[in-house]
Homo-oligomer: A and B are copies of this chain.
């Protein structure tokens, strides 16, 4: 039942029915009552737009994704957790995809103007994130999945990327590895910067200089990782261990190792970051994969809760969570081969 149907049923204009339902004085009391009774009897519910105007809540959380590729395995796991937690609150997710950085900023402005969402999740922020600055200006509540430094208190949930990489690198150093390659995420993203800081800290604690030829910054895909790892394995001396930024990266590195005729776990070691994809289980790989592990799905569940806290007025300085990352050792990491 829509406003139009109700109006037709009553033989009144939509404007009159709308005014009657909203208690405008120009509609007389008899008409108002007749409209209210019919609305009640026919189960007419005002639409979201009217409801939004009445309650001040949109009942939706916004996500702006850059490029179709951002809707990849990481985002879908995150959305699984977020969506499950939102379902119990009857809150929807409004997903906007954009092609460029400028379109991304415009999409946030459009979200603010339209008031279609009550809050926004900003994911994979950069060190000084322009989008976060814009959301502050636009006065849209938001929670970061990750961290940024823009000189305001912000609500965020992040994993300890620095600690994870420091530990994984130190472990490989303990095993005698000295040429350790890092296949990291895109430069400028805070998580990738934090990972590099952890990697450098572990190396520098042993007095080992970073070899720039062993550090790659790319998107997390099997194909790109394959090509980077292949090139690194042609270096002499070649790396004896890889730190892979994601399970997809690990698949590509594994392929390059196999193609070079080397054995993972003996000739070459690898520790991958595992966001816990149900279909790419580190335990089930062959050899099983050593990982730094943190469930991105659980992060999605928790961010739904943090958003509820922010909307309920909890001070942003109190909405901070830094999750520790586990180091899980399996077969893919072992002692460095004798030179």
Contacts and interface: CB of A to CB of B under 8 A. Distances in A.
A115 B2 contact: yes
Contacts of A87: 68, 96-99, 103
A67 interface: yes
Contacts of A73: 73, 76, 277, 279
Contacts of A60: 94, 116
Q: Number of contact residues on A: which range applies?
A: 35 or more
B49 A50 contact: yes
A83 B71 contact: yes
Contact of A95 (B79, B81, B221): B79
Given A26-B26, A95-B95, A279-B248, A84 B72 contact: no
A268 to B, nearest CB: 16
Nearest to A286: B258
A226 B284 contact: yes
A122 interface: no
A202 interface: no
A223 B278 contact: yes
A72 B76 contact: yes
Nearest to A95: B93
